Amino acid sequence: MTQRPPRRSVSLAVERLEDRYTPQGGGTVTGSLAGHVYTVTGDVHYNDVTLAGTGTPGAFTLTGNNATTVTGLANPTGVTKVVFDMQGGHDNVTVNGARLKRLVFLGGEGNNIFQATNLVLSENLRIINGAGLDNTNVRNFRINGNVTINNGDGGSYTYLYALSAGFGFCRVGGNVVVAHSATASVCRDFETGAAAR
């Protein structure tokens, strides 16, 4: 007697990727210069970029990390203000060695990370995030004007501090306003070590 193979029931369905799944970078980020304002515009994806000062005042290099593509102008010069407009997605922006008048970070929706080290601004720092678990981390900075940070909905973290007791500095000349942050710590006046000149 022949046996029929057991009938298998296969159900095909497209499952939505859960929010906790976060691809490690991607999308396209565009750099553009208008006058002395350098704007870095992201897209709906998780964008991961680094903006680094070259050592020449006003000159920067924009680099994409983790499969993020950079288009447009990636090596601007004569910059006095930088605006990051990252749109949706969990964006990750790192700024190293920037000397500017102003810096604006618009993170959009998603869990955004803004990190800066050795940041010197003669005017203001402004960080605005949409809904999401945002993380702002600024190490070693001198900001003559105001610091304004609004993280929108979601538990968020805000830390502005001197990097270490041996080599660190922090200074804010104006007002500090931090809104919608579950944890916030802002160093106002501290200098030590070689970087304190």
Binding site for Ca ion (CB under 5 A): 42, 47, 86-87, 89, 91
- Do the Cβ atoms of 74 and 95 come closer than 8 Å? no
Beta carbon nearer to Ca ion, 87 or 156: 87
As measured in angstroms, the least distance from the Cβ of 38 to Ca ion is 18
Pairing mode of beta strands 28-34, 37-41: antiparallel
Q: Which residues pair with 37 in a beta bridge?
A: 34, 81
For 143-176, the DSSP string reads: ESS-EEEE--SS--EEEEE-S-SSSEEEEE-S-E
Residue type, 55: G
Residue of 76, 93, 129, 168 whose CA lies nearest to 187 = 168
Please, which residue, 49 or 162, has the CB nearer to Ca ion? 49
To Ca ion, the closest distance from the beta carbon of 55 in angstroms equals 29
Closer residue to Ca ion in complex, CB, 30/150 = 30
CB of 134 to Ca ion, least distance (A): 13
- Residue 47 or 181 having the CB closest to Ca ion: 47
Q: How far is the CB of 166 from Ca ion (least distance, A)?
A: 36
The pair of structure tokens assigned to 70 is 């950079």
- For residue 89, the minimal CB distance to Ca ion (Å) is 4
Nearer to Ca ion, 44 or 177 (CB): 44
Burial class, 75, CB count within 10 angstroms (exposed 0-12 / middle 13-18 / buried 19+): exposed
